[in-house]
Amino acid sequence: MTSSTLSPREQALQTARSMLMQTTSRPAPANSMVEHTVNSAALENKADAAGTDLHDTLDERYILAAGKLCLAGASNELPQIIAIRPDLLTIARQFIARANFDWLDDATTIITDEAAALDDDAGIAENDVSSRVLQALNARERAELLMVGLGALLGESPQLSDDQTAPLEGFELLVRPILWRLIPLNAEREAALAWVDPSMRKKLWWWSEGVDVPRNALQALSTVAHLVQCFPSARSELDKAIQAERLFTRLVDAAPRLAQSRETVIRLEDWLNRQRAHQANKDILELPMVAGFESGEQLLLTESQFELSWQQPDRLIVDLLANRKEGAAPRLYIAGISVDGLAVPDCEERFEFRLEGNWRDATNVKLELPLATGILTHAIVGPKR
């Protein structure tokens, strides 16, 4: 099979394997197959295009190749490669000591300074602004390939200093909140993910998040704002649409977990009664959706404003689907004692309660949700009506 008939993922795997098995201590001649393979991936050119000053050494290319192998979904091949080339472990350890991601600061600046101008040109890739932003995103990909490659070769997350990780943290802190401004580049962002295994694409969030949104969506923002300003009652329809999108996303994310657990579906009432069988009081949860799973996360309740889930052994999870009052968090009252919900990292509007002790014995458990429209109270445990 020729390289022209390979899929982007197969080409990436071929490039990574060839690079990792190249054992010369210096770059091969320009007309060699190895050099051609490395150039086909253009790994070293991405950093140069982004204006970085990272040394393009052969050692670094090995680490980039290991990262690419993993993100393309073939990390299981690395142990065999390392067995043949144990020097890769030494290369990775030595690279950590001198790793420097300061060049990523330039990429961050390009995106934060110029992303707002993308919508003016509807994301035309040939446009100078679009090209610069895409080069900056490529630089972030290069950094991720290095991090993933180091972790895969060493078998653990790379132990970097605060100074080394600061550019990575700065990129996320400054770029993630404005990622929506990159929607006009969605065709290019989607193409950049073609070689990545679907299970790994979320790791490259600057490419993947919101990539399914129509690239002209930003042009509709002012139109929707004008509509709501003229007809305030239309805001409720907008809120319903947002809630529906959140619920849809939750269902899509939960689908693999629910499918894996579908053979252990039980009635929530039965589950709770088993937990409290030693008590004569058989009060049950007042929930319209009484199905859950013995393992994993159990969806207990779906309402228009929130969802309630349980995860063994002691996590009660609340997903807010309605707008929350700024700075406020859900609160749980167990027999009159309040417990504050903790925000779940990297999960939008998701809070958890760690429940310990004999909370299941309580006959009065109440959930309080601070919504933008006011406090919503829901009785979770109480007498049957």
Positions in the chain short of pLDDT 70: 1-4, 23-57, 119-126, 247-296, 356-363, 381-385
What whole-number distance in Å separates Cα of residue 232 and Cα of residue 227? 8
Predicted pLDDT at 46: 43
Predicted pLDDT at 108: 96
Positive or negative torsion for Cα 52, 58, 60, 65: positive
| pLDDT tens-digit readout, 127-178 | 789 999 999 999 999 999 999 999 999 988 888 999 999 999 999 999 999 9
SS3 343: strand
| pLDDT tens-digit readout, 65-77 | 999 999 999 999 9
Q: What pTM does this model have?
A: 0.59
Contact at 8 Å (CB) between 121 and 127?
A: yes
| CA nearest to 128, candidates 139, 138, 112, 117 | 117
Buried b (16+ CB within 10 A) or exposed e, 26-42: ebeeeeeeeeebbeebe
